[in-house]
Amino acid sequence: MDRERADFDQVLRDIAEVFEIKPLVLTLPIGAEDKFAGVVDILKKKAYLYEKDGSGKFTESDIPADMQDTVEEIYGRVVEDLAEVDDALMEKYFETETLSDDEIKEGMRAAAKNPDLNVVPVFVTSSTHSIGIVPLLEALIVYVAPPSERRVSVEAERGGEIEFLEGPLSDSGPTVAYVFHSHTDKYGTLTYFRLFNGMLKPNLSLIHISEPTRPY
């Protein structure tokens, strides 16, 4: 948000139109470009004003007066969107027109785990000045499912039908890994990968989907 011509509203429109995903706004920027000074946490309804020295130090304060109506409007939309992820939450929302903090967390976790819901949480930050980083990290801890609970897409053959290995993933299941880089020099080939499921043991043979005849 500290970049020149940064336009938060345009980014939200691009997310919805280009990716056909519903943006779930969880922080709002206070200012933009060189005047980007902090963020408003939509769910906590608190503002965080940051130092511009890159230290990440911030002061918690009330929401600026000229943003209060916008925050309330977005908060209502977020709660309504989260209520749609679960029948029990929807029923509660119809009865009370609101959700508790725990129910909001439950809805966020459900939304993060279900790709069919087509929603994506949106946070505003500045990596240069370390603005808005803390709310983002807190959300990752509270809302995002751990790697062991996420499903992994796999193909039995190159270009074949995609299947999903559902969580919980474990060491005892079939070995599934993603090779993201291979480096070859005069000493041999070094392969870098991320292991999603199962274990790697000496003399274990694996199939590379992109190159099925290549041993691993």
pLDDT digits (tens, 9 = 90+) for 6-24: 899 999 999 999 999 899 9
pLDDT reported for residue 48: 95
What tokens were used for 52?
Answer: 């511009």
Low-confidence ranges of the chain (pLDDT < 50): none
What contacts 30, CB < 8 A, 6 or more positions away?
36, 37, 38, 39, 40, 47, 49, 64, 67
CA distances from 8 to 4, 22, 30, 95 (A): 12, 15, 11, 33
Quick check: 164 and 154 in contact, CB under 8 A? yes
Burial of 60 (0-12, 13-18, 19+ CB in 10 A): exposed
pLDDT digits (tens, 9 = 90+) for 60-80: 999 999 999 999 999 999 999
What tokens were used for 179?
Answer: 């090779």
Query: Residues of CATH 3.40.50.300 domain(s) within the chain?
Result: 8-145
114: helix, coil or strand? coil
pLDDT reported for residue 212: 56
Architecture in CATH of 8-145: 3-Layer(aba) Sandwich (3.40)
pLDDT reported for residue 65: 94
pLDDT reported for residue 68: 95
pLDDT reported for residue 117: 80
Quick check: 54 and 130 in contact, CB under 8 A? yes
pLDDT reported for residue 25: 95
Find, among 77, 87, 86, the residue nearest to 42 by Cα: 77
